Structure 1
Amino acid sequence: MGTTPSQENSNPTLSDVLPKNRLINVFASLTRQFDSVESRLNDPTQNMTVLAPRNSAIMDLPRKPWENPDDYARYGEAEAYEGSEGQDRAKKNLERFVMAHVVVGSPWGDGVEGEGRGGETMAGDKVGWVRRGEKIYIQPGDVEVDSIAEKVSNGEVWILNGVLNYA
């Protein structure tokens, strides 16, 4: 038997709530471009923590999320993202950006090093968080958490005032 709409609404997933928050709708739209991410966020059996950068943090980046300085060094500025190979590089870089902001598990971590708790992103990066006073910061990078915006059946959405390293 399938679920009724009322049953679905009683157990929203991360993919249900991400697009509803206007502070992070740029990042939310990026998550829907990659099946590897979207399927995990929609899966009620796999808990995740989404570290979603605010729209303003993404807009203020010194380079676009699909850009990688190594690509410019290797292929030149004019050719780095031209043609189908360049578009593939850009898409891979963008997927890396998104995956670097999704932690496998929620709640995440049982004490890594130091005072914080840690986990691993879908991109394979080790990340952690520490609390200093009333604020929470993601490490490495000391990225301030604006708020924990949502807690749903398969995880949490944390809104960041910056972005994590995605190179």
Structure 2
Amino acid sequence: MKPATLATALLTSGLLLTTHAQLIPFFTNDRDNSLRQQRPGSQRRPQAMDPNSNAPGIQLPPSSPSNNDNDNKDTGSVILSDVIGTQPQIQIFAGFTRDISSVSTRLDTGSQNTTVLAPLNRAISDLPRKPWEDPREYAAFGAEAYSGADGETRAHRNLRRFTEAHVVSASPWKEGEKVESLNGGDVWWEKKDGKTVVQPGDVEVEKVASRVANGEVWVLKGVLNYAS
């Protein structure tokens, strides 16, 4: 099977490529679905609050103006799992977070503060390979690397690695503070040439999309290094 037909081979645990060359996530897995349950009130939209209000002394990257009056808002009861899917420009990554149980469970836990570093749709679409692909596995298993049950397991593992690399176990998150992502890598952010960038890799932060009770969603213009 050629890589171009991979989405078909992944059955119900893959991603589709639309005619606009944009990935639409529907990667599903029974073991993950069994862990995902709707929180009461999770369909509510956040209510208005000053997006620039934060604890004294906490440094945060600037948020950009938005056309949606509900962006960057927090009622104190809304959590990350409520808002992660409300930003169209990061819908691909939002789908990943819902389908990787380690991430979806964390975002749905109010007692665990988290910073989600969500790449823009175009940043994921522009990757030289899909997030579930690994060149080493193509070398080892050929074009059928992601076919069948074994291929599905490999794809799910790779997608989990990608998603967990963009979820940080801290919020608020101070400039220069090195913290671990869920996949174990150290990341930090800093001001550079008038921009806010996440390191390593100089990945620019476009804006803070949401601030809620258990953390924040940052929109990235690029993708962090997720290779193990």
1:79 Cα deviation after fit:
2.2
Counterpart of 1:66 in structure 2 is 132
**Any idea what the Cα deviations from partners look like across 1:82-118, whole Å, max 9, x if unmatched?**
1100110001100111000000111135x7xxxx222
Structure 1 unaligned regions, length at least 5? none
Counterpart of 2:87 in structure 1 is 21
1:75 Cα deviation after fit:
1.4
From 130, 155, 171, the equivalent of 1:106 is 171
Task: Tell me which amino acid in the other structure corresponds to 1:98.
Answer: T
Task: Please identify which structure carries the higher helix content.
Answer: 1
Structure 2 unaligned regions, length at least 5? 1-38, 47-74
Asked if 1:141 corresponds to 2:201, the answer is yes
- Aligned-partner Cα distance in 1 for 2:206–2:139: 35
Counterpart of 1:129 in structure 2 is 189
Runs of 4+ in structure 1 over 2 Å off = 3-6
Correspondence list, 1:68-83, <5 A:
68-76=134-142, 78-83=143-148
Task: Tell me which amino acid in the other structure corresponds to 1:104.
Answer: S
Task: Tell me which amino acid in the other structure corresponds to 1:28.
Answer: A
Counterpart of 2:104 in structure 1 is 38
From 144, 152, 157, the equivalent of 2:217 is 157
Matched pairs, number: 158
1:40 Cα deviation after fit:
0.3
- Aligned-partner Cα distance in 2 for 1:118–1:160: 18
Of all paired residues, the percent bearing the same amino acid is 52
**Any idea what the Cα deviations from partners look like across 1:51-80, whole Å, max 9, x if unmatched?**
00001101111100000112112212x121
Larger Rg: 2
- Aligned-partner Cα distance in 2 for 1:4–1:80: 40
- Aligned-partner Cα distance in 2 for 1:104–1:25: 21
- Any idea what SS the aligned residue of 1:73 has? helix
Task: Tell me which amino acid in the other structure corresponds to 2:167.
Answer: V
Task: Please identify which structure carries the higher strand content.
Answer: 1
- Aligned-partner Cα distance in 2 for 1:19–1:4: 16
- Aligned-partner Cα distance in 2 for 1:108–1:125: 16
1:35 Cα deviation after fit:
1.5
Counterpart of 2:61 in structure 1 is none
